[in-house]
Structure 1
Amino acid sequence: MGFEDSEKDNNVLKSQSQLLVDLKGEPGKNCGGFCKFCYFKKVDNSNPSPFGCKNCTFQMGCDYCTYSIREINGDFIPLPFAIQQIQNALFFQNYDKVNITSGGDVSFYPDLEALCKYISDVGLKIHLGYTSGKGFESVEIAKNLVDYGVDEITFSVFSTNPEIRKKWLNDKNAEESLKCLKYFCENCEVHCAIILIPGVNDGEELKKTINDLIDWGAHAAILMRFANKTEQGLILENAPIIDGIESHRVEEFKEIVRKTFEEFGDKIRITGTPLYDPLTNAPFAISYEESLLKKLRNKIKSEATIITGNISYTFLNKIFKDTPVNVIKVNKDISDLITAKDLETVDLKELKDTVFIPPMAFVHDRVAEEILNRDGNNRMILRGVDKLSLDGEVSGTLTKEEVLKFEKNAFEELIEKINFFGKPI
């Protein structure tokens, strides 16, 4: 549920020729210990209860909403198993690149160099899908990995100040991990992630980090809002992760992204998540295109209700303004992290006969129907389109035109569903 998950989505959109190799592993266990701000810190995995989700069948609970959301993967898989994944995949399809990912941190995979050498020997380039670099003990490892075909990396930086990394990332070898990052930046396409903690690595510290990344040759930096409350996205009963920290307000965070882009955007690609991308206006870039919105609105022939989260609400409310579609929100910033508890807060009087909930919402279909029909009505409860927009983790690799094309297609698909299942006007 963090940067590494979106990287998987990113690679699907970016290129169908990347083979994803999952080394498994778990946060806190296979990553050199929790970072102070880790989403999975303080999660009790001893007896996980399922949330319910779109992947469930008749019974509530599946591997995704019970285990995967908590990154309960077990230890790293042995090297022969990883190689077998690659061999099996190459038997059916050709790929240009292998994306190595993990529920832990790939820099701690004990056979990473051997795996990369094998991939290089079969003629494929390598993308290290996510790492903090904490497991790289010397810059020689980085040099070897580049020699073995690593040409793309997503790197969780937090700060280029080694003392800050030692304290906040539990990085015992901060100087060396930063040397590795510098070498990767000089020799690979590097996309950096910076989770922002107020008063720790924002402000002048952020400027220093961005300047360092520019000097080293990084391609992009994504600023990530720190979640410390349930409504901000901590749905695993582990809030707060850090006592006494108030995360940046949504608009405050957006302003930090905008100012960082204005200062550095001509030298490095700057985006933010959960918002925003100043170059493309994502997410919901379409909300800024009035002529395009008018064409979409004219296609709506039925009425329906859309339930969403705090951030998406502002955009969707504008997009569906003056249409028979009403948008209501629950107190959860990220729509995909809406749960059954959130749906219980909805005022049923605001709902029309057809209701769309976020496709990735963590609630079983049957439970959603029961909650939203508990007043005795027989509303049709449906899931919307999987992705209506793209946040900075994906839009950062695309142009404004590509983002708008994606959103136009997505909203046309949603409107088709509204017209088919909704009550005609």
Structure 2
Amino acid sequence: MRKTLYFKDDDTRLSFFQGNYVTLTNMRDEDIEKIIRMRISPINISVHTTNPDLRVFMLKNKRAGKIYEYMKRFYENNITMNCQIVLCPSFNDGKELDRTIFDLAKLYPAVKSVSVVPIGLTKYREGLTQIEGYDEKSSKKVIAQVTKWQKRLKKDLGSNFVYLADEFYLNAKMPIPGASHYEGFPQIENGVGLMASFTEEIELAKKDLPKKIKDRNVSIITGVLAGDFIKKISSGLMEKYENLKIQVFPIRNDFFGEKITVAGLVTGSDIINQLKGKNLGDEAFIPASMLRYGDCVFLDDVTVSDLERELNVKITPVNVNGFEFISKILGII
């Protein structure tokens, strides 16, 4: 992997400037006071649970249990927070999830939003606590539980407040809610509501499409999770333009393990190993989220140039933006 990925970062300054999520386990009282004094807001916090003992166990840090105490101080001093709960079956789900949502809702509106995302399990788990991932049945159970909270909080707070990651709906084979459900997408950088936003942009972009385009033969490279979603969009475009050919290649994650299905964790080496020798057309598109922000390097230090050389095709990164996606696929920008 890239050398920088071996460093564990929990810096509240990066939370403010870049949107990183922090656990606050390295915070002392004077650090909390400094955040309040300097008005470092908003802060993105990985809460996971408000049960002190459970949080200490989950994070293997004796200071982890002070999270709610810190958050109450932020609340009292009008520091805005966005929170995430990485959900682990049999640990912080069920009644523990109810407790956490209830506790965080008491800090509204300082706690602006809460995302619930499923734990990502790599194949490198030797010596670690045994945890199962979320399948169709367990994902449906989480959706039902959080939906009840959303209805209650919409009535009490005027906001859904808590939002589920797209993965839960995809795993459950259930429709992703429409854009209005996400109330301005406060957690979109955490991948929550990304597909709803993308779909909305695609539909808007379709209203202003050209009648004709030049002949196009392109490929789209993505993760397994988004594969069917991208294929559906691509089919719609090919129905409109007879001279447009789009191939979609969902990449199996051999680097981290097949349970990792999101596009942002696909490595360059996996793309090369699975697509080398294939006819990818005139141009291949990848999500920009596969690359280091502002750079052309994958998680495994493979570069876009390496990919182009190995696959013998032009590689173009595309942001998760429906307007940009349509324009680049059709070759109209």
TM range (shorter): 0.5 to 0.7
Deviation at 1:201, TM superposition (A): 0.5
**Counterpart residue number, 2:133:** 247
**Counterpart residue number, 1:185:** 75
Tell me the distance in 2 between the aligned counterparts of 1:356 and 1:290: 16
Q: Is the CA contact (8 Å cut-off) linking 1:105 and 1:132 kept in structure 2?
A: yes
**Counterpart residue number, 1:380:** 313
Structure 2 segments unaligned to the other structure (5+ residues): 170-175, 183-192, 239-244, 254-260, 292-297
Equivalent pairs, count: 275
Deviation at 1:353, TM superposition (A): 3.8
Residues 394-417 of structure 1: CA distance to partner in whole angstroms, max 9, x if unpaired? Answer: xxxxxxxxxxxxx3432244235x
- Which of 7, 11, 14 is the equivalent residue of 1:106? 11
- Which of 296, 303, 306 is the equivalent residue of 1:367? 306
Segment drifting more, 325-334 vs 128-137: 128-137
Structure 1 pair 196/381, CA: closer, same or farther in 2 (3 Å)?
A: same
Q: Is the CA contact (8 Å cut-off) linking 1:287 and 1:315 kept in structure 2?
A: no
**Counterpart residue number, 2:173:** none
Q: Is 1:326 aligned with 2:247? A: yes
Give the secondary-structure state (helix, strand or coil) at the position aligned to 1:321. helix
Segment drifting more, 214-223 vs 171-180: 171-180
Structure 1 segments unaligned to the other structure (5+ residues): 1-50, 52-65, 72-102, 113-124, 231-237, 373-378, 389-406, 421-425
Q: Is the CA contact (8 Å cut-off) linking 1:198 and 1:247 kept in structure 2?
A: yes
Tell me the distance in 1 between the aligned counterparts of 2:41 and 2:131: 37
**Counterpart residue number, 2:266:** 338
**Counterpart residue number, 2:57:** 167
Deviation at 1:311, TM superposition (A): 1.9
Report the residue type matching 1:226 in the other structure.
I
- TM-score normalised by L of structure 1: 0.55
Deviation at 1:284, TM superposition (A): 4.9
**Counterpart residue number, 1:158:** 48
Deviation at 1:304, TM superposition (A): 0.8
- Which of 222, 233, 236 is the equivalent residue of 2:115? 222
**Counterpart residue number, 2:98:** 207
Structure 1 pair 68/412, CA: closer, same or farther in 2 (3 Å)?
A: same
Deviation at 1:274, TM superposition (A): 5.8
**Counterpart residue number, 1:256:** 142
The share of aligned pairs that are identical, in percent, is: 24
Structure 1 pair 221/251, CA: closer, same or farther in 2 (3 Å)?
A: farther
- Which of 195, 203, 207 is the equivalent residue of 1:283? 195
- Taking only aligned residues, the RMSD between alpha carbons, in angstroms, comes to 3.6
Tell me the distance in 2 between the aligned counterparts of 1:184 and 1:128: 17
Segment drifting more, 214-223 vs 288-297: 288-297
Residues 82-119 of structure 1: CA distance to partner in whole angstroms, max 9, x if unpaired? Answer: xxxxxxxxxxxxxxxxxxxxx53237xxxx9xxxxxxx
Report the residue type matching 1:67 in the other structure.
K
Structure 1 pair 283/357, CA: closer, same or farther in 2 (3 Å)?
A: same
Deviation at 1:127, TM superposition (A): 9.8
Tell me the distance in 1 between the aligned counterparts of 2:308 and 2:19: 41
Report the residue type matching 2:11 in the other structure.
V
**Counterpart residue number, 2:189:** none
Q: Is the CA contact (8 Å cut-off) linking 1:129 and 1:154 kept in structure 2?
A: yes
**Counterpart residue number, 2:162:** 270
Report the residue type matching 1:306 in the other structure.
I
Q: Is the CA contact (8 Å cut-off) linking 2:83 and 2:113 kept in structure 1?
A: yes
Give the secondary-structure state (helix, strand or coil) at the position aligned to 1:327. strand
Tell me the distance in 1 between the aligned counterparts of 2:140 and 2:263: 18
Give the secondary-structure state (helix, strand or coil) at the position aligned to 1:305. strand
Deviation at 1:129, TM superposition (A): 5.5
Deviation at 1:228, TM superposition (A): 1.3
**Counterpart residue number, 1:70:** 6
- Return the structure number with greater relative CO, CA threshold 8 A, min gap 6: 1
Q: Is 1:410 aligned with 2:318? A: no
Q: Is the CA contact (8 Å cut-off) linking 1:309 and 1:329 kept in structure 2?
A: yes
Deviation at 1:256, TM superposition (A): 2.9
- TM-score normalised by L of structure 2: 0.68
Q: Is the CA contact (8 Å cut-off) linking 1:133 and 1:181 kept in structure 2?
A: no
Q: Is the CA contact (8 Å cut-off) linking 1:225 and 1:274 kept in structure 2?
A: no
Residues 300-342 of structure 1: CA distance to partner in whole angstroms, max 9, x if unpaired? Answer: 5422111111122222111111412121211132223222134
Give the secondary-structure state (helix, strand or coil) at the position aligned to 1:216. coil
Q: Give 1:15-30 correspondences, 5 Å limit.
A: none
Tell me the distance in 2 between the aligned counterparts of 1:226 and 1:106: 22
